[in-house]
Amino acid sequence: MCLSIPSKVVKIDKKANVATLDTMGIKRDASLALMEDGAVEIGDYVLLHIGFTMNKIDEVSALESLETYKEILEIMDREENKTIGEGS
């Protein structure tokens, strides 16, 4: 019930206040009634929930998280290699 699906905005019908969203290849219309006017643009990533766009996904923040994960992974790998090196 509370699950929402990350999707990409591919079309906006301003008159109907509806966006067409692409969810991994499946296209669906979603109401923009819960979004401020003009807040959503084509190319934005949003969360789709029971026929509504419930908010925008902050791409910068998502990329920051992914970059942090990469860095953590590298640090952990380095630490592990060091431990293996010391052990041998």
Task: Indicate the SS3 state at residue 52.
Answer: strand
Q: How many residues contact other proteins, by CB under 8 A?
A: 36
Q: Which backbone phi and psi does 30 adopt, to 5 degrees? A: -140, 135
Instruction: Please tell me whether residue 62 binds other proteins under the rule CB under 8 A.
Output: yes
Burial class (CB in 10 A: 0-12, 13-18, 19+), 30: buried
Q: 19 vs 35, which CB is nearer to other proteins?
A: 35
Q: Which residues contact 49 (CB under 8 A, 6 or more apart)?
A: 3, 4, 5
Binding characters for other proteins, 29-58, by CB under 8 A (x = yes): --x-xxxx--------x-x-xxxx-xx-xx
Contact positions vs other proteins (CB under 8 A):
1-4, 6-8, 22-24, 31, 33-36, 45, 47, 49-52, 54-55, 57-59, 61-66, 69, 72-73, 76
